[in-house]
Amino acid sequence: MDRARIAVFDTTLRDGEQSPGCSMNMREKMRIARQLDRLGVDVIEAGFPIASDGDFEAVQAIAAAVRRPVIAALARCCTPDIERAWEALKGAARPRIHTFLATSDIHLKHKLKITREQCIEQAASAVRLAKSLCPDVQFSPEDATRTDRDFLIEVLNAVVAAGATTLNIPDTVGYTLPDEFRELITMIRQRVRGIENVTIAAHCHNDLGLAVANTLAALHAGARQVECTINGIGERAGNASLEEIVMAMRVRADRCPFDTGIVSEQLYPASQLLSDITKVSVQPNKAITGRNAFAHEAGIHQDGMLKNPLTYEIMTPQSVGVPDSRLVLGKHSGRHALAIRCAQLGYEFERRELDEVYRRFVVVADRIKTVQDSDLLGLIRELREHAARNASSEAIPSTIAAAPSGAMRPFPMPLHPAQEAGLGLSSVHEHHGEQEDYLWGV
């Protein structure tokens, strides 16, 4: 199967930065830009130079320092914006001016207060100016998905004639649906004159949670550039998430005959860097980069994972740069997972010992959602003390042995959360229910 090369256009530093709480200073933007370079994106939209001196300087600095990817800067369709964008970009190895103008009637009438004819003229003359400065010019008809189709084609014809080399089709308000967006891209390919020499891009917002699905639909219709952000940050509900688009293509390569230059092992580091810089955390269940994205708690899932990760994993955590699949220990966990975690902490138990550890573990897990390593260590310590006290009379004497490394590890000794919560372990013997490993797993 012939696989099409898809350009990844990252707008974390422009559209992403427009999300509440995600402003970054120049040093922070530079760190993100360098990580995007390591990640292998094709285009970095570094900012909107007319917006502020800070934005201008950030674009200029990134253009000077990051030389492999194309560096793009945003400009409205007017002379000061385009000249300012070019001023910031001109030191770039591969500069791109990205100019945009709204084309939907609702934007023309209420926001821009111009006619359709004025819109076409303004778009074409802006692209002509940009082209006189820079060979690589991208045009976006803002709110394309709510624009009259025939008028959209007129605008696109005009900007292609004026020299645009990329036509980006934004679903600015996150309104479209996958089949509709696919039809729109197909129509553009059929009707715009000279489209064969132009790259079509998709820029989707996530207001209905469809940004990634819409982006993939556009690729199937012939778009060859995707616009996206790390962690899906961006205006309102955000932009299409870079990591989700890339991994959907990669995991479902059988249905997506597309390749990118993304080094997927850099996805998680990029996500972590961004949330560290912005202090905006990633939702725990976020696909690919959320902290639970590779966590398995249900016993049957954990057991399957330990036997063969392919039972419940469609991609490995390592493939996206997550250090290890996390088995979350909670009340749904089974003995197998518990034994593995204990071994990782330096303790190996025989079956009978493990049963005792497991009984105590279940009591604690019943009361706190997730049993952390420190909880588990506290539990093992208590059990040891209990066993030592009763060494002469109990049937479970010094059976809890340290792992082959020899001496017991020194415990970090924070107060055991179960103790803090006044739970104690005295109730351990009240818990008589036999826990089957697979009880909650189905």
Q: Which stretch binds Mn ion (CB under 5 A): 11-19, 35-43, 66-74, 113-121?
A: 11-19
Q: Is 45 in the site for Mn ion (CB under 5 A)?
A: no
CA neighbor of 151 nearest in space, from 102, 205, 213, 87: 102
**Distance in angstroms (rounded) separating the CA atoms of residues 2 and 258:** 8
Instruction: Write down the least CB distance from residue 169 to Mn ion, Å.
Output: 12
- Smaller CB separation from Mn ion, 170 or 334: 170
CA neighbor of 33 nearest in space, from 57, 66, 3: 66
* 47 strand-pairing partners: 73
Instruction: Write down the least CB distance from residue 206 to Mn ion, Å.
Output: 10
Nearest residue relative to Mn ion (C-beta) = 15
* Binding residue for Mn ion, selected from 8, 14, 15, 144, defined by CB under 5 A: 15
Q: Name the residue with tokens 């707008």.
A: 11
CA neighbor of 184 nearest in space, from 202, 199, 198, 206: 202
The contact pattern for Mn ion, residues 301-340, with x = CB under 5 A and - = no contact, is ----------------------------------------
Instruction: Write down the least CB distance from residue 147 to Mn ion, Å.
Output: 15
Residues 170-189 interacting with Mn ion (rule: CB under 5 A): none
Q: Which residues contact 134 (CB under 8 A, 6 or more apart)?
A: 86, 89, 95, 96, 97
Q: Which stretch binds Mn ion (CB under 5 A): 9-17, 146-154, 210-218, 297-305?
A: 9-17
- Smaller CB separation from Mn ion, 15 or 81: 15
Q: Which stretch binds Mn ion (CB under 5 A): 8-16, 28-36, 94-102, 291-299?
A: 8-16
Residues 275-304 interacting with Mn ion (rule: CB under 5 A): none
Instruction: Write down the least CB distance from residue 45 to Mn ion, Å.
Output: 10
- Smaller CB separation from Mn ion, 204 or 338: 204
Q: Name the residue with tokens 């990051």.
A: 66
Please report which helix (H) or strand (E) contains residue 347, including its range.
Answer: strand 347-348
Could you give the C-alpha distances from 140 to 6, 156, 168, 215, 395, in angstroms and in order? 18, 9, 5, 15, 76
Q: Which stretch binds Mn ion (CB under 5 A): 14-22, 296-304, 313-321, 384-392?
A: 14-22
**Distance in angstroms (rounded) separating the CA atoms of residues 145 and 188:** 12
Neighbours of 278 (CB within 10 A): 21
Instruction: Reduce the DSSP state of residue 392 to 3 states and report it.
Output: coil
- Smaller CB separation from Mn ion, 243 or 437: 243
The DSSP secondary-structure symbol of 197 reads G
Q: Which stretch binds Mn ion (CB under 5 A): 15-23, 105-113, 177-185, 282-290?
A: 15-23
The DSSP secondary-structure symbol of 287 reads T
CB 266 within 8 A of CB 39: yes
Distance of CA 24 to the CA centre of its chain: 18
Amino acid letter, 397? P
Q: Which stretch binds Mn ion (CB under 5 A): 7-15, 86-94, 154-162, 400-408?
A: 7-15
Phi (first) and psi of residue 437, to 5 degrees:
-55, -30
Instruction: Write down the least CB distance from residue 237 to Mn ion, Å.
Output: 11
Instruction: Write down the least CB distance from residue 96 to Mn ion, Å.
Output: 16
Instruction: Write down the least CB distance from residue 17 to Mn ion, Å.
Output: 11
CA neighbor of 165 nearest in space, from 301, 7, 5: 7
Q: Which stretch binds Mn ion (CB under 5 A): 12-20, 63-71, 161-169, 394-402?
A: 12-20
Instruction: Write down the least CB distance from residue 353 to Mn ion, Å.
Output: 58
Instruction: Write down the least CB distance from residue 201 to Mn ion, Å.
Output: 12
Instruction: Write down the least CB distance from residue 131 to Mn ion, Å.
Output: 23
Compute the chain's Rg from CA coordinates: 28
List interacting residues with Mn ion (CB under 5 A): 15
